[in-house]
Amino acid sequence: MEEEFGFRNGVLHIENVSVQEIIPISHEDSEPVYVFSKQKIISNIRNYKHELNKQSFPWTLNYSMKANANPSILQIFKENGCSLTLVSGLELKTALELKFPTEDLVLNGNGKQNWEIDLAIQNGVLLNIDSVFNLQQTVSACKRANIPARVLLRVNPDIEVDVHEHVITGKVGSKFGVDETVFNEVVTILQNEQLLTLVGLHSHLGSTIDDVAVIAESAEKVSKIFRNLKAKGFRSMKYINIGGGLGIPYRKKELDTLAWKNIAESRKHKLENVFNEMSSHSDFQSILTDFKSNKISASQFLELIGNICKEDNSQTVEKMEKTLGVKGIMPTQADLIQSIKPYIDDDVHLIIEPGRSLIGNAAILLCRTLGCKESGDKSFLVVNGSMNEVIRPSLYNAYHHIELAEPAVGAKKIYDIVGPVCESGDFLGKNRLLSTPHVNCLLAVFDTGAYCGSMSMTYNMRPRAAEIMVDNDTVKVIRRADTYEDLMKPYRI
């Protein structure tokens, strides 16, 4: 996986610490844990800052706190010069307690409660206006306290993005942002309210975006609105907030567990045409037989074919890789900044709000296998991790790469990796070619830093998992697991 998550002698290491040190073999009843790499978080921040520092316009890098709100992680962002974008009053309260500078904090949200708006106004936080009623709420709050507020107007640019419908936020029909039907009404109110100062615009298209061109399109639209509003007399305008949403390469290592059985029929047909180009190689048929009988993964197949092709048929191997159709490459932070650069004038202060691309690839969920079972033509690998810890596959049909984190000698088989929660939708991954593990074998679910711990739950009275930070060769618990007492404490009989 990432350089901070690598295998040594078949054992997964996070930086310089092996998973067997984090969960020793003797701890057979250990619950799943999230394990973070501090150096990966810092590297992600530096990648953004390195590219932003090349630009002529001022900028602020705001980590989207909803991706992961662990205070120890927030402290890393603070120490590395980031601010925060917040979506609730308690997120704001946490940011204040951690002493983040308030002038760069942004409170977003389509349904703010009055107390949340009050808290933002009292602390001079930038407030995103999301609707007519939200604007009226903010006006009333300022008048009650007789305190002015700096506000951003969240515009809905009505741009289509190719992501799951649950994470689209910048298209007409979304619950977020002000679209053109009420835009003039909002602008008129802002022109007449002395306690509100419009200082910029905000836009956010969605999440897991793999095409920076759509973010560039949004930046272009928002920049035109920005200039028009300044021309109409909004002289305090300085910020353009392009939101976040850049995805990470969740499928980067998919070929390692992809088997012939799981390839779409349309792709199989195209692959057969490429296979015909290889028929002259004596070893090809035996390798192909192993692949089609699901004994080896797609990556092993490509590696073996590459070995027999050497120099003469490298293009054929490239054709196979493309035909398999795995999305292993994502735009980088540099790609994103370069795409929007033409639309950000030098007198504009850019705010960018990544969450996933700062923290997503900085953690794994480490769990244990409980056993294997068969049902019809399905094979299940049952682990003690579940949808409670990684809900994205159940919620969005999202992909997380999964590998055994220590050596296993059992035969390879196509498994659905499922948890113990009493729901048929409790799965972490489907149709993965893995070696059959021994009982209590460690297993890693990758790229769980964003929207996993922050979306975890206690369904079936399962305790929320502990969180561990690895920094080079040191290991620190940054959140202990829930106890039974934690779960019962809020109840009254």
Query: Which residues are known catalytic residues?
Result: 422
In whole angstroms, what is the distance from residue 214 CA to residue 340 CA? 10
Q: Which two tokens stand for residue 310?
A: 């050497």
CA nearest neighbour of 389 among 70, 33, 41, 19: 33
CA nearest neighbour of 430 among 446, 413, 447, 415: 415
In whole angstroms, what is the distance from residue 454 CA to residue 90 CA? 13
164, 396 Cβ separation under 8 angstroms: yes
Residues with Cβ within 8 Å of 97's Cβ and at least 6 positions away in sequence, in order, are none
In whole angstroms, what is the distance from residue 487 CA to residue 481 CA? 11
Strand-pair partners of 13: 6, 18
Q: Which two tokens stand for residue 372?
A: 């294997």
In whole angstroms, what is the distance from residue 449 CA to residue 365 CA? 9
Query: What residue ranges in 275-376 does DSSP mark as E strands?
Result: 349-352, 363-375
Q: Which two tokens stand for residue 247?
A: 């995805």
In whole angstroms, what is the distance from residue 358 CA to residue 338 CA? 18
